Amino acid sequence: MPFMLLQAVLLPLISMPLIAVLGRRLGRRVAWVSGAILAYTNILLASAMFDLWNGSAPVVETYAWTNALFALEFGFSADGLSLPVALIANLVCNALVIFSTEYLDHRIHAIYNRESNSLNAFYYSLFMLFSTGLLGIAFATNLIEVYIFLDILLIPLYFIMDHFGYVTRHRVATMCFLWGFIAGALFLLGSVLAYSQTGSFMISDLPALVGTPLALWSALLMLLGMLVKLAVFGFHVWLPWVHAEHPSCIAGVLAIIVGIENYLIARIFVQQIPSIFELFSLPLMVWAVVTMVYGAYLTLAQDDIKRLYACSTIGQTAYSLLGLASCSAFGATGAVFYFISHSLGKAILFSVAGIVVYRTGARDMRQMGGLAKRMPVTATLCIVGSMILSAIPPFSGFPSEWIMFVGIFQQGIQGSVAALSVAVLGIFATFLTSVYTFWPVMRIFFGPPRPDHENVREAPLTMLVPLLVLAAVSLLIGIYPEIITRLLIPAFTGIP
């Protein structure tokens, strides 16, 4: 397939005007057009992944982007590290665009009190940018590309938030944009510093950074940019707002946007400049564990179902950070694997929250209970999502989590007492995940049914089937982790 990666990245972008035009006629049914386009790119990626899995060489496409000032290669590289991440991100986008049909309609009616084809067209054309942005980040070969695609993601985020979000949506949209922009700016600053030292923006040229005078500063700035987006403790204050007030149909994508920084850390730091990254290892591990524990307690403190899963993202992405910060092959493999698994699980959980809000009209869990009787499939999905997050087999959470913790414990045992206690604290923090995922299951779905939910029905198939597909993918990976591990392992052969 010629220009396969270029197609996968740019096709959604190019199709935006088409979707916008069609959307004005088709209304929400244009979701199926978006879905079809994403399904096509999914097939492209899946076939690439299948070939790679069977031993063919990674696909690299380069496009020159040169002018008088600088020579920049606009490249896409689909290797074992980027392909699984890209495929899962695209898959979630695909599932959620179908999920959106009902949900967005409900949002438009709730906010604007009318049918609106143009708003549908607006939403679905913007939604394509998520796919472009996420795939672009995954496949990027230079730091400028990363920056561009990171910022591309801010565009749909801002507009979708502003138009379709919840109560304080205008304020939160601005907040989301600003935080994203600050993170991007820090990253760009770091990249430029790196360029000043190595004379190249290529990620593969980063090893030359080691030993240069500004190396530490460059790495620190890039890392800070990512940590802001990763919502580690202290930088997390934007996340509960942004994730909770978004329409639930894109919340799953949001979890990937947050988590993909972990992929970038793996790609840029662990792969290319491990010797610099090791300097940050212990502080980052401590920071990650603090975030995990704080994120867990913050999640437990929520009564709002949307805010609940928003807060859990804080802790969950910190797991991956902990794995990466252990600077070991196991830790890094497990961390990226865990991010993939979490993307699936969180997409399911956020969407379940969306379904519950859509069907009951309530966001407060204190006003819920006994819904399992009315929505058995949704309740099952919620338990499945909780299982993925709590690393309960046979879903993907389990292999990813233990592989990651092997790396974390390796670091802990070789390192100081502090590192070992961080490892032990970290694994016990995973216990809190079960608490904050299964307790809400009980609060929402178990107990006596409420009289005011007498008319609540099971969610429509367009909402359930995409989520069931995601659950099936997670199950498949969980039963046969080789699908992911065979691809990820070669990416980290260089480190101990």
Which member of 101, 360, 396, 430 binds other proteins (CB under 8 A)?
A: 430
- Find where tokens 């994120």 sit: 295
Under a CB-based contact definition with an 8 Å cutoff, are residues 331 and 407 in contact?
Answer: yes
Which member of 230, 392, 459, 470 binds other proteins (CB under 8 A)?
A: 392
Q: Which residues pair with 142 in a beta bridge?
A: 202
CA dist., res. 61 & res. 56, Å (int): 15
Q: DSSP string of 421-436?
A: HHHHHHHHHHHHHHHH
Give the per-residue contact string, 258-297, with other proteins (x = CB under 8 A; - = no): ---------------------------------------x
Tokens for 79? 């290797």
Which member of 45, 251, 288, 406 binds other proteins (CB under 8 A)?
A: 406
Which member of 115, 364, 452, 482 binds other proteins (CB under 8 A)?
A: 482
Q: Does 385 help bind other proteins (rule: CB under 8 A)? A: no
Q: Does 159 help bind other proteins (rule: CB under 8 A)? A: no
Q: DSSP string of 17-30?
A: HHHHHHHHHHGGGH
CA dist., res. 356 & res. 278, Å (int): 44
Q: Does 399 help bind other proteins (rule: CB under 8 A)? A: yes
Q: Does 442 help bind other proteins (rule: CB under 8 A)? A: yes
Which member of 125, 200, 218, 302 binds other proteins (CB under 8 A)?
A: 302
**Closest C-alpha among 267, 249, 270, 246 to residue 177:** 246
Binding region for other proteins (CB under 8 A) out of 198-206, 318-326, 429-437, 450-458: 429-437
Which member of 15, 77, 271, 485 binds other proteins (CB under 8 A)?
A: 485
Nearest-5° angle of CA 444, CA 450, CA 456?
A: 80
Q: Does 242 help bind other proteins (rule: CB under 8 A)? A: no
Between 6 and 383, CB nearer to other proteins: 383
Under a CB-based contact definition with an 8 Å cutoff, are residues 389 and 398 in contact?
Answer: no
Q: Which residues pair with 77 in a beta bridge?
A: 60
Which member of 75, 165, 240, 247 binds other proteins (CB under 8 A)?
A: 240
User: Which conformational region is residue 3 in: left (phi greater than 0), alpha (psi within -120 to 50 degrees), or beta?
Assistant: left
Between 106 and 307, CB nearer to other proteins: 307
Binding region for other proteins (CB under 8 A) out of 22-30, 63-71, 89-97, 404-412: 404-412
Sign of CA pseudo-dihedral 84, 87, 89, 92: negative
For other proteins (CB under 8 A), the number of binding residues is 56
Which member of 24, 438, 458, 476 binds other proteins (CB under 8 A)?
A: 438
Between 134 and 332, CB nearer to other proteins: 332
The set of residues, in sequence order, having a beta carbon less than 8 Å from that of 455 and lying 6+ positions away, is none
Quick one: DSSP state of residue 273?
Answer: -
Between 195 and 409, CB nearer to other proteins: 409
Q: Does 434 help bind other proteins (rule: CB under 8 A)? A: yes
Q: Does 394 help bind other proteins (rule: CB under 8 A)? A: yes
For helices 215-230 and 169-198, angle between their N-to-C axes, nearest 10 degrees: 160
CA dist., res. 197 & res. 210, Å (int): 9
Contact footprint for other proteins (CB under 8 A): 175, 234, 237-238, 240-241, 297-298, 300-302, 328-330, 333, 370, 372-373, 387, 390, 392-394, 398-399, 402-403, 405-407, 409-410, 413, 424, 427-428, 430-431, 434-435, 438-439, 442, 445-449, 480-482, 485-486, 489, 492-493
